[in-house]
């Protein structure tokens, strides 16, 4: 398609689709270009041999039906606004941790149960545990009472600050604190501090000292309020619903449509050039690509280049999608697990195993009598570039790596190796290729000591070019990029004279 629209969105990830659907609902003519032939990026689903796998995300926040959950039940609010439905099932345990020295603990929906289990392992720290997790509750309570909007939108800040002056000041003060420093105010025990590190590593891929307290307040408190809810049919139901919402109001997604270039004239984005050479003009362009892919791949010339060391680049993943015989899963087995063999290497590449068995919540994702295991560890493209992709050596290296992961996982699922009936393996190269993510990275991270407000926001150095997704505030995770989509849409909508209603 050639021509002119109000807004072009590059990429149908959750960030891009959220922004597009909200803009279109306000009557702003929006078109999305996606290089793949399906929506969702790291939150897509894919099917093989009767199994439906989550390509990435499978722990979901933001689906609470409780209106007190404020901005933290964003999915519910957005789908209500768009008039589309995503059915979910509650997950009673966010993560079951299996840690060194036989330390096993479930982060349950029931907050008191979780705190009591922790205090049982660390009785001398009972008071410190209460105080530390209370700090997270405080952040949660402030955040959940403020409407979602852009930190760059002066009208939004003035309105929120005017209506909730005390809460706004308290939140602003808390943005300067890290989760790890806060923990050290109350807790001395080294093993407990390591546990708090793995709590932050579980989603931030950084230790607690490098993780802002505000982010922790969202993930580690909301699990006890809105809770964790899984979309029936798999992760891909979330982007599919956003597409339905977009289309319902007259917008659309063009698949197999890679944007090769953002057309910039005199420092202003004028539209995009697609891989087939077509140019689409727009009053605003929103990129859902990473900060490196946007500025180093899609904008010619060096003026806007982002150097490699501007942010910490999170590693990528080696992923294993297994179809297994159901007999290997014992009764009462939780859906999401994290496995650490040794604290010395938990944050090294491959050191921590994440795995999920979503079929425990939704058996329809696998043939009868089967389950899914999705397991993954951090990895880098450099670990795999010695092999030619598709070569026998590459395939063998993947199989060997997968076998070692399966054998480590047998610690909590004995007999897993014999139960595997389907095995699909993905390296960081796969991640890079499918999602156009620089080195397959999980995203840009703040450097230790940087404040959460130093994350890129939705405005960019190029006029009329806006950004959404995990390179922008607040960061990685489906609910976080949903927030960035909302704040990006609210900024663009106000600029176009049609401000969004608050969510
Ligand atoms: C293994 C793994 C497990 C995870 N687990 C969880 C979890 O349990 N819970 C959670 O909340 N989060 C989880 N996450 C993180 C979460 O999935 C991501 O943070 C989030 O989905 C990123 O969304 P996004 O919109 O920023 O970008 P992406 O998902 O990267 O989407 C960007 C889209 O843009 C497209 N695109 C890029 N460049 C172009 C171009 N030039 N032209 C056209 N299209 C383009 C891509 O194809 C892609 O579809 C996980 C991620 C991974 C990888």
Within 8 A by CB and 6+ apart from 374, the residues are 53, 54, 58, 319, 320, 321, 322, 355, 356, 357, 358
Q: Give the per-residue pLDDT at 66.
A: 67
For residue 15 and ligand 1, the question of a CB distance below 6 A is answered with yes
CA of residue 87 to ligand 1 center, whole Å: 21
pLDDT, one tens digit per residue, over 294-319 is 999 999 888 999 988 888 999 999 99
DSSP for 267-334, written as a single string:
TEEEEEEETTS-EEEEEEEEE-S-HHHHHHHSS-SSTT---TTSSEEP-EEEEEEEEEEGGGS-TT--
CA of residue 452 to ligand 1 center, whole Å: 20
Angle between helices 179-186 and 190-204 (to 10 degrees): 160
Mean of pLDDT values over 197-223:
90
CA of residue 431 to ligand 1 center, whole Å: 10
Burial class (CB in 10 A: 0-12, 13-18, 19+), 121: middle
Distance CA 90, CA 429 (A): 34
For residue 10 and ligand 1, the question of a CB distance below 6 A is answered with yes
Q: Report whether 251 contacts 29 (CB < 8 A).
A: yes
Distance CA 74, CA 80 (A): 10
Indicate if the pLDDT at residue 357 is higher than 70: yes
Task: Indicate the average pLDDT of the chain.
Answer: 93
Q: Give the per-residue pLDDT at 2.
A: 55
Distance CA 60, CA 227 (A): 8
Which atom of ligand 1 is nearest the CA belonging to 469?
26
* Cα torsion angle, 399, 405, 408, 409, sign: negative
Domains of the chain: 3-44+234-307+451-495 (3.50.50.60), 111-225 (no CATH), 316-379+385-426 (no CATH)
Indicate if the pLDDT at residue 93 is higher than 80: yes
* Cα torsion angle, 426, 377, 334, 480, sign: negative
CA of residue 46 to ligand 1 center, whole Å: 14
Confidence at 481, pLDDT banded by 50, 70, 90: very high
Indicate if the pLDDT at residue 289 is higher than 90: yes
Where would I find the H helices in 34-163?
74-82, 111-121, 126-143, 154-163
Q: Give the per-residue pLDDT at 162.
A: 78
For residue 296 and ligand 1, the question of a CB distance below 6 A is answered with no
| Share of residues in the chain with pLDDT > 70 (%) | 98
> Is residue 247 classed as helix, strand or coil in its secondary structure?
helix
Distance CA 462, CA 157 (A): 23
Q: Which of 8, 10, 11 to mutate to test the pocket of ligand 1 (most atoms within 8 A of CB)?
A: 11
Distance CA 290, CA 442 (A): 9
Give the residue whose CA is nearest to atom 15 of ligand 1: 477
Least confident of 5-19, 217-231, 282-296: 217-231
For residue 317 and ligand 1, the question of a CB distance below 6 A is answered with yes
Q: Report whether 279 contacts 2 (CB < 8 A).
A: yes
Residue 343 structure tokens: 């604290």
The residue among 452 and 402 whose pLDDT is bigger is 402
CA of residue 279 to ligand 1 center, whole Å: 25
CA of residue 109 to ligand 1 center, whole Å: 26
* Cα torsion angle, 408, 411, 415, 419, sign: negative
CA of residue 43 to ligand 1 center, whole Å: 6
CA of residue 441 to ligand 1 center, whole Å: 10
Q: Give the per-residue pLDDT at 168.
A: 75
Give the residue whose CA is nearest to atom 6 of ligand 1: 57
Indicate if the pLDDT at residue 267 is higher than 70: yes
Give the residue whose CA is nearest to atom 7 of ligand 1: 57
Q: Give the per-residue pLDDT at 269.
A: 97
Residue 359 structure tokens: 């079929």
Residue 264 structure tokens: 């910039």
Question: Cα separations (Å) of 409 from 240, 306, 338?
Answer: 32, 39, 10
CA of residue 292 to ligand 1 center, whole Å: 14
Distance CA 21, CA 28 (A): 10
Where would I find the H helices in 349-426?
392-409, 416-419
Indicate if the pLDDT at residue 366 is higher than 80: yes
Of 368, 336, 367, 366, residue with least CA distance to 353 = 336
For residue 12 and ligand 1, the question of a CB distance below 6 A is answered with yes
Q: Report whether 387 contacts 397 (CB < 8 A).
A: yes
Mean of pLDDT values over 321-342:
97
pLDDT, one tens digit per residue, over 95-152 is 999 999 999 999 999 999 999 999 999 999 999 999 999 999 988 888 877 777 777 7
Mean of pLDDT values over 263-285:
97
Q: Give the per-residue pLDDT at 69.
A: 52
Q: Give the per-residue pLDDT at 161.
A: 75
For residue 17 and ligand 1, the question of a CB distance below 6 A is answered with no
pLDDT, one tens digit per residue, over 373-422 is 999 999 999 999 999 988 999 999 999 999 999 999 999 999 999 999 99
Mean of pLDDT values over 285-291:
98
Give the residue whose CA is nearest to atom 52 of ligand 1: 56
Give the residue whose CA is nearest to atom 53 of ligand 1: 56
For residue 271 and ligand 1, the question of a CB distance below 6 A is answered with no
Q: Give the per-residue pLDDT at 149.
A: 73
The residue among 92 and 448 whose pLDDT is bigger is 92
Which atom of ligand 1 is nearest the CA belonging to 260?
41
Give the residue whose CA is nearest to atom 31 of ligand 1: 13
The H-or-E segment that residue 229 falls in is strand 228-231
- The C-alpha torsion from 377 through 381 and 382 to 386, rounded to 10°, is 110
Mean of pLDDT values over 153-180:
78
Q: Give the per-residue pLDDT at 169.
A: 75
> Is residue 119 classed as helix, strand or coil in its secondary structure?
helix
For residue 141 and ligand 1, the question of a CB distance below 6 A is answered with no
Q: Which of 43, 203, 466 to mutate to test the pocket of ligand 1 (most atoms within 8 A of CB)?
A: 43
CA of residue 55 to ligand 1 center, whole Å: 9
Question: Cα separations (Å) of 481 from 71, 118, 219, 303?
Answer: 13, 31, 13, 27
């Amino acid at each position: 398609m050639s021509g002119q629209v109000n807004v072009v969105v590059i990429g149908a990830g959750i960030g891009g689709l959220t922004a597009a659907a909200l803009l279109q609902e306000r009557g702003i003519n929006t078109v999305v270009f996606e290089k793949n032939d399906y929506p969702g990026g790291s939150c897509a689903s894919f099917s093989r041999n009767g199994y439906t796998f989550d390509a990435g995300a499978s722990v979901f926040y933001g689906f609470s039906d409780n209106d007190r959950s404020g901005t933290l039940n964003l999915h519910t609010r957005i789908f209500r606004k768009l008039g589309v439905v995503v059915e979910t099932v509650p997950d009673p345990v966010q993560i079951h941790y299996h840690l060194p020295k036989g330390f096993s603990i479930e982060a349950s929906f029931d907050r008191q149960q979780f705190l009591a289990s922790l205090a049982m392992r660390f009785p001398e720290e009972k008071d410190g545990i209460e105080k530390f997790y209370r700090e997270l509750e405080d952040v949660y309570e402030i955040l959940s009472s403020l409407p979602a909007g852009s930190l760059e939108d002066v009208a939004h800040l003035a309105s929120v600050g005017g209506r909730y002056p005390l809460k706004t000041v308290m939140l602003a003060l808390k943005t300067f604190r890290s989760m790890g420093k806060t923990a050290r105010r109350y807790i001395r025990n080294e093993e407990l501090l390591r546990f708090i590190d793995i709590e932050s590593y579980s989603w931030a891929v950084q230790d607690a000292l490098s993780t802002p307290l505000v982010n922790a307040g969202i993930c580690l408190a909301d699990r006890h309020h809105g809770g964790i809810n899984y979309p029936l049919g798999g992760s891909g139901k979330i982007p599919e619903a956003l597409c339905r919402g977009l289309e319902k109001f007259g917008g659309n997604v063009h698949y197999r449509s890679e944007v090769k270039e953002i057309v910039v004239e005199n420092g202003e984005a004028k539209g995009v050039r697609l891989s087939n050479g077509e140019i689409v003009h727009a009053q605003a362009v929103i990129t859902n690509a990473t900060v490196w892919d946007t500025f180093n791949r899609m904008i010619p010339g060096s003026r806007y280049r982002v150097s490699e060391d501007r942010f910490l680049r999170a590693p990528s993943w080696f992923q294993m999608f297994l179809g297994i015989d159901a007999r290997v899963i014992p009764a009462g087995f939780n859906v999401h697990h994290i496995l650490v063999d040794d604290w010395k290497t938990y944050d090294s590449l491959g050191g921590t195993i994440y795995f999920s068995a979503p079929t425990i919540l939704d058996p329809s994702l696998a043939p009868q009598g089967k389950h899914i295991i999705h397991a993954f560890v951090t990895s880098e493209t450099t670990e795999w570039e010695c092999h030619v992709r598709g070569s026998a050596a590459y395939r063998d290296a993947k199989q060997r790596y997968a076998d070692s992961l399966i054998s480590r996982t047998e610690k909590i699922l004995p007999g897993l190796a014999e139960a595997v009936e389907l095995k699909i393996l993905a390296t960081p190269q796969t991640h890079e290729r499918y999602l156009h993510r620089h080195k397959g990275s999980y995203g840009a991270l703040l450097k230790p000591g940087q404040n959460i407000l130093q994350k890129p926001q939705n405005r960019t150095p190029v006029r009329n070019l806006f950004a959404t997704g995990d390179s922008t505030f607040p960061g990685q995770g489906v609910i976080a990029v949903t927030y960035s989509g909302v704040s990006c849409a609210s900024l663009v909508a106000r600029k176009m004279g049609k401000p969004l209603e608050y969510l």
